[in-house]
Structure 1
């Protein structure tokens, strides 16, 4: 029977712009006594990747455009935040008070363009907002190459038709983000015709049980005991092409 273990890395310090994130994680693995083994996968929260890559923006430095000012008035959101959302958006999908759903330049359809202000700075500090990494798959590949194991970068997404957020993969390296099971038999020998598994999303969701969504401060989780045979592909393969999307 396959056994899966999850280990949150203890004692990681607050991450600042320019920090060597791979070195911080390697030190965390050493403190936890976790030597890398086959079947290990490291899940890293997007937030600390963005912080290390200097993706925090001071709101005082943002000049909102007329479009951002108008949309801010419609939604009740700070026009400076709206400006940052629009800069990375391909299009606005929907908006209502306190919410703007956009198609991000990375292909994700997401609330508020992935912009984050929670756990970024303390209440007494100058307001900042955290943007997504410029290239999450590239960020995962760099960490994977340095640390010597597959890496998934996770973020919390809401989901159409369901309440609540869940961890999903926005970057991945060293494993198959999407596994194509079409043509394989099910347990009764029936051929699968449409089955695609979001393998990296499932890994991110599992790690989210330890990462949490609030003050848990556990942004790195090691999953141990995984197995796969499909070829590696990046998290960008999880984005549904527009031609296949019945709801765009």
Structure 2
């Protein structure tokens, strides 16, 4: 498998033809997968915002006050309001805002970015990364994974994850296949879109590299059953259930 960044993309602005800009710079081959950072998708879709667009509610002010007491530095309640408006629910309000986005992704601050946002205070995640991926996939005739970076429970650091995808299943389902000793696999479902996102993130990098699109070449899904489940359902999410009964500081 080979991964390489799409070089020479300009700063993406609202209304830009992101698919066209990528297509001008890549000769796609059969089997390629395109991984695109959610930041440039959001910029093309006009998801920049200013803090002034989020007048703070009483709940946002209370959240900001609590975060300020934990962190020892001022927290803008308008940012807390933006997180609330971009979230279906907050799983934690301290020591950080762990949010369930409206499309099912669980991440800190609802994935709102404050870096590399020229001319605005905030960059919100795409409203529907799955729809964004589908539009790009249809325009480019290759599978597309829209990526973001997230922290991981029990580990330091961030890694790339998929927040939307189109043209390929989310996961390879190994259940029913056998290991080398002939034992039947009963639980293994491999989240390939996350693994592709992580591989792409190694090439795209963080910060100001300016390479938000990566082509994965020579990877094959293989002859496996597939699954499109990625975001765990609330009914079988034991971590989410445990967080309901937990309060920071108790």
Provide the rounded CA distance (Å) in 2 between the counterparts of 1:198 and 1:128: 33
**1:224 paired to 2:217:** yes
5+ long unaligned stretches in structure 1? 30-34
What residue in structure 1 maps to residue 7 of structure 2?
10
5+ long unaligned stretches in structure 2? 69-74, 241-250
Provide the rounded CA distance (Å) in 1 between the counterparts of 2:102 and 2:177: 34
Distance verdict in 2 for CA 1:230–1:149, change over 3 Å: farther
Q: Aligned-residue CA RMSD in angstroms?
A: 1.5
**1:111 paired to 2:104:** no
Q: Which among 52, 63, 74 is matched to residue 44 of structure 2?
A: 52
**1:75 paired to 2:72:** no
Provide the rounded CA distance (Å) in 1 between the counterparts of 2:211 and 2:105: 25
Distance verdict in 2 for CA 1:19–1:192, change over 3 Å: same
2:173–2:227 CA contact under 8 A, matched in 1: no
Aligned residues: 233
Secondary structure at the counterpart of residue 134 of structure 2:
helix
What residue in structure 2 maps to residue 20 of structure 1?
17
What residue in structure 2 maps to residue 174 of structure 1?
167
2:134–2:144 CA contact under 8 A, matched in 1: yes
**1:143 paired to 2:136:** yes
Secondary structure at the counterpart of residue 138 of structure 1:
helix
| 1:16, distance to aligned residue in structure 2 (A) | 0.4
What residue in structure 2 maps to residue 210 of structure 1?
203
1:182–1:195 CA contact under 8 A, matched in 2: yes
What residue in structure 1 maps to residue 185 of structure 2?
192
Provide the rounded CA distance (Å) in 1 between the counterparts of 2:110 and 2:101: 6
Secondary structure at the counterpart of residue 169 of structure 2:
coil
Query: TM-score w.r.t. structure 1 length?
Result: 0.89
| 1:231, distance to aligned residue in structure 2 (A) | 6.7
| 1:176, distance to aligned residue in structure 2 (A) | 1.4
Q: Which among 150, 164, 172 is matched to residue 157 of structure 2?
A: 164
Q: Which among 100, 103, 128 is matched to residue 121 of structure 2?
A: 128
Q: Which among 91, 94, 97 is matched to residue 93 of structure 1?
A: 91
